[in-house]
Structure 1
């Protein structure tokens, strides 16, 4: 089972991701940072929109979401499809590490 966006019509991750996109800063070394404290609120809001299945219970969800957002932000514009794909990629990697 994959990580997915929760099925609530009033939740729109693209609005939150657009906000994160507007406050991101990418330096010459391709390191991503964010201006202000709005990032913390945005990540918290995103976390409430994501449905992690039970097999992800032992993983650090906030760290996974933050890493996914950072990697996509470095590559270009954030959108919900890219972010959820990257989250799933990281989850698979983390689960493989736990099994090894």
Structure 2
């Protein structure tokens, strides 16, 4: 099993989850984080740290967001690893609970 970053992270990009990851499996894009499923060891430390509630075990990803499983795997191959906490994006608090944010994902 692996963990997956879902839609709530888009345009927020809180990085609290990155600090607790023992395998450095997070990758950073312009306005979204992803988890590399090949590096994730299913430790479950990241989920509770996410202020946006955007991280799920792959078997618990809401059905309407199941495409994020493949999206995480694909983008992890393109984006650099992130190992330190950074400030969230400007207006992150305004975006955190918005829906239909996939259209705003910057690759």
TM class by smaller structure: 0.3 to 0.5
Q: Which has the higher contact order (CA 8 A, sep 6+)?
A: 2
> What TM-score results when the alignment is normalised by the length of structure 1?
0.32
Considering fraction of residues, name the structure with more helix: 1
Q: TM-score, normalised by structure 2?
A: 0.31
